[in-house]
Amino acid sequence: MPRLSVLLPVRNGQATIGTAVTTTLRAMPRDSELVVFDDASTDATLAELDRIDDSRLAIVAGTEPMGVSGGLNRLLRATDSELVARMDADDVCLPWRFRQQLGALRTGRRVHAVFSTVVNWHSGQRRLVPNPPIGISPAAFPVHLTMTNPVSHPTMLASRGVIMEVGGYHSVPAEDYELWMRVHLAGFRLRRLAMPCLAYRVHGGQVTATDGWSAMSWANPVVAAAYSDLTADVLGTRFVRLNVIATSPEVDSEAFENLLEQFSDAIRRASARLGPERQFVLRVLKRRMADVRALRKRSVTSPAA
């Protein structure tokens, strides 16, 4: 068996799947495989995959749509490598990705899942937009998780045993964020590398760009329970997700501001021992507070939005 399996679910990705697969194959080490799950595509995705001649590429074809979580769990069952990585059908893998990530797993204190920053690639534009190349240590990662999802799912490289021990993917909105919370709560360590390893394509067809996706994520009881457990573990107090508070008509303005202040104080306390990383945490907190207040303003002005 190969040491590394790269898992790539796709549905109707004929326009981008070729680039995603070929750039991933070029970056992969020898002892690895790229396994694609075609989620019952109705376009020419399979034909595009058939054009690629590489013995490290395997294709699992589905007959009924399973969604991202279902497809990833199918790929986990179809592979048996020590390590698993993610890739999306509309992104571009940068040449140094696996060299950097595998090196991070081998060196330093034990890390069970490694991510990276990304370069944003907006459809229709030639210019790439890099995110700030700021890493997140295993100590700081849980604090960031209480504020937002600090990583892009397709940059993951992790121990298969860790993913399987916590039960794989749940069929929920933000299946990646919910998984990271469970991984932390199970006692495993996550890290984000500063160097970008992926060109992340931003376009209107993404699931996260569709109407109502964010609201479904905020309201999902499985995600809410994981978040409550996370904040109890990291911050010492159980909190409801801030976006839920911001959009709740049952929370008046005074209570809303009190809750934000309590959350901010908890973040400041939790980040007190992070050394130089604390300043980045506080910048993210400031931005998060501004975003939540803006969401609150929109919700109050237009409750149906």
pLDDT in tens, 173-214: 999 999 999 999 999 999 999 999 999 988 555 555 445 657
Both tokens of 77, joined, read 């069952």
Please give the pLDDT value at position 304: 45
Residue with tokens 């075609």: 38
- Least reliable range by pLDDT among 9-23, 39-53, 251-265, 291-305: 291-305
The answer to whether residue 285 sits within a structural domain is yes
The answer to whether residue 162 sits within a structural domain is no
Please give the pLDDT value at position 67: 95
The answer to whether residue 271 sits within a structural domain is yes
pLDDT in tens, 47-66: 999 999 999 999 999 999 99
User: What CATH number has the domain bearing residue 61?
Assistant: 3.90.550.10
Contact (CB, 8 A) for 4 and 83: yes
- SS3 for the chain is CCCEEEEEEECCCCCCHHHHHHHHHHHCCCCEEEEEEECCCCCCHHHHHHCCCCCCEEEEECCCCCHHHHHHHHHHHHCCCCEEEECCCCCEECCCHHHHHHHHHHCCCCCCEEEEEEEEEECCCCCEEECCCCCECCCCHHHHHHHCCCCCHHHCEEEHHHHHHCCCCCCCCCHHHHHHHHHHHCCCCEEEEEEEEEEEEECCCCHHHCCCHHHHHHHCHHHHHHHHHHHHHHHCCCCCCHHHHHHCCCCCHHHHHHHHHHHHHHHHHHCCCCCCHHHHHHHHHHHHHHHHHHHHHHHHHCCCC
The answer to whether residue 85 sits within a structural domain is yes
Contact (CB, 8 A) for 157 and 101: yes
Q: CA-CA distance, 214 to 178, in Å (whole number)? A: 14
The answer to whether residue 258 sits within a structural domain is yes
Domain limits at 19? 1-89
pTM of the model: 0.92
pLDDT in tens, 226-265: 999 999 999 999 999 999 999 999 999 999 999 999 999 9
The answer to whether residue 266 sits within a structural domain is yes
pLDDT in tens, 63-120: 999 999 999 999 999 999 999 999 999 999 999 999 999 999 886 568 999 999 999 8
Residues in the chain: 305
How many domains are contained in the chain? 2
Residue 303 has pLDDT above 70, yes or no: no
Residue 128 has pLDDT above 70, yes or no: no
Contact (CB, 8 A) for 284 and 271: no
pLDDT in tens, 135-151: 999 999 999 999 999 99
Domain final residue, candidates 89, 106, 124 = 89
Contact (CB, 8 A) for 90 and 13: yes
Contact (CB, 8 A) for 114 and 151: no
Confidence of residue 163 (pLDDT cuts 50, 70, 90): very high
Q: CA-CA distance, 293 to 296, in Å (whole number)? A: 5
Residue 292 has pLDDT above 70, yes or no: yes
Mean pLDDT, all residues of the chain: 92
The answer to whether residue 259 sits within a structural domain is yes
Contact (CB, 8 A) for 200 and 118: yes
Burial profile 233-264: b = 16 or more Cβ within 10 angstroms, e = fewer:
ebbeeebbbbbebbbeeebeeeebeebbeebe
Please give the pLDDT value at position 216: 75
Domain final residue, candidates 69, 89, 109 = 89
Rg of the chain in Å (alpha carbons): 20
Residue with tokens 């609201």: 215
The answer to whether residue 177 sits within a structural domain is no
Query: What average pLDDT does this structure show over 31-56?
Result: 97
